Structure 1
């Protein structure tokens, strides 16, 4: 997908966005930035999103408003109206196509990794949270991001004293030595204390 076109979606009256490998939006609060990117994630990964909900036995039946509340968060059922239009450069989408689990076939996995503006919700009392620890009214992207972070902390990060940078994850860095591991632990402790 190279472009996403929207009309009458929540606070967004009209938008045409050209997409790249890394996309960042800047603008006033409540202007629709997060909603736009959540919709982009849904359009890109609808089968994977539906499968993730079903993996945790969360079923919206045929209720489109229920799906909108589950995906975007409680109270968001009115984002779509009869005037809402969503399209890429090659395909138009209606709400039913995005939420109906019988449409679009099986998932090929995710293509979008979304870091939500509400990412602070991913940690409670210094601990990461799994998908099912959230309320049904919390946005999907927050629940999914938190679950990925939780799984990463419980598996990969639990096996090393060095959280960042990891070996072979950056082009010009080979990994943590003792000094870097101590610095990383100190930075994590400072962050947790703030």
Structure 2
């Protein structure tokens, strides 16, 4: 899974996935994540516990696109608002928050995220993939969404905090959904 860094979406190499979403409650999702030995950090648990994080009773499929900030034409990085705006201009949409646990369950072969590179404070960890989604609240101290990571062989569904001024690096990976490409089951 190599992503080219020189071209802008849709004229870049990107990774598309079709993910089945919905049909389970939050407690059922947590149970399945645990059965697959997928861990969550405190921020991920806070997202799951929030009443504003809802799940769909009906299953549906979504087409997702994984690419880097650079692949959106943002070669110097961007704030979350700039990133989401540029993605929208290119025909990509935000994902429902509930996509993250389903995507984590689908993507069990994620490459190792440590690879000898140390993470920097206030930056997306090396090897992580952030799911682009609308935050549940404007509270700067509440998690904004989820990211996927494999650390020392362990799969994680982690929540993260980032304020409006946070600048994502050009090589940070994001997953967006195709606008108007929700597939009915």
Given the two structures, how large is their TM-score scaled by the length of structure 1? 0.26
The structure with more radius of gyration? 1
State TM-score, norm by structure 2: 0.27
More strand by share: 2
Q: Of Structure 1 and Structure 2, which has the larger fraction of its residues in helix?
A: 1
Q: Which has the higher relative contact order, 1 or 2, with Cα contacts under 8 A spaced 6 or more apart?
A: 2
